[in-house]
């Protein structure tokens, strides 16, 4: 293979790698959802600090999933070969990871305020 063919082949590989695919959004969203169940799936001998530490990172990971998914969707707009499935899935998982913990907090505040009246 000549050096010209090698350069053309590497150029095609670079453009394929540079296309936004939304993988970051999907990974962040899946990690955020996994962190919601983390304290409940670990066995009892694991220390409480280790079991509950990921809870603090649920909302930031969800926000990162939503932002990176929206960016990937905007970059993929107009590209025929781009598949926005991963970005959309990441946005959906990130939104769930933001809304569910906040809904639980609002519910807990409401329940506690009504318990002491």
Cβ contact 70:91 at 8 Å:
yes
Question: In the predicted model, what is the mean pLDDT of residues 42-52?
Answer: 86
- Rounded to an integer, what distance in angstroms lies between the CA atom of residue 29 and that of residue 91? 7
| pLDDT one-digit tens code per residue, 56-82 | 899 999 999 999 999 999 888 877 777
- Rounded to an integer, what distance in angstroms lies between the CA atom of residue 28 and that of residue 33? 9
Give the global pTM: 0.76
Domain ranges in the chain are 20-115
Cβ contact 54:35 at 8 Å:
yes
Q: Looking only at Cα atoms, what is the longest distance across the chain?
A: 82
Assign 16 a pLDDT band (cuts: 50, 70, 90): low
């Amino acid at each position: 293979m000549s050096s010209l063919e090698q350069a053309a082949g590497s150029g095609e590989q670079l453009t394929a790698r540079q296309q936004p695919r939304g993988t970051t959004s999907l990974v962040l969203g899946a990690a955020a959802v996994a962190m919601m169940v983390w304290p409940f799936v670990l066995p009892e001998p694991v220390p409480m600090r280790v079991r509950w530490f990921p809870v603090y990172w649920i909302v930031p990971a969800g926000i990162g999933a939503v932002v990176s998914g929206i960016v990937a969707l905007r970059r993929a707009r107009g590209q025929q070969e781009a598949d926005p499935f991963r970005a959309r899935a990441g946005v959906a998982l990130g939104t769930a990871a933001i809304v569910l913990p906040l809904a639980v907090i609002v519910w807990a505040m409401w329940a506690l305020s009504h318990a002491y009246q």
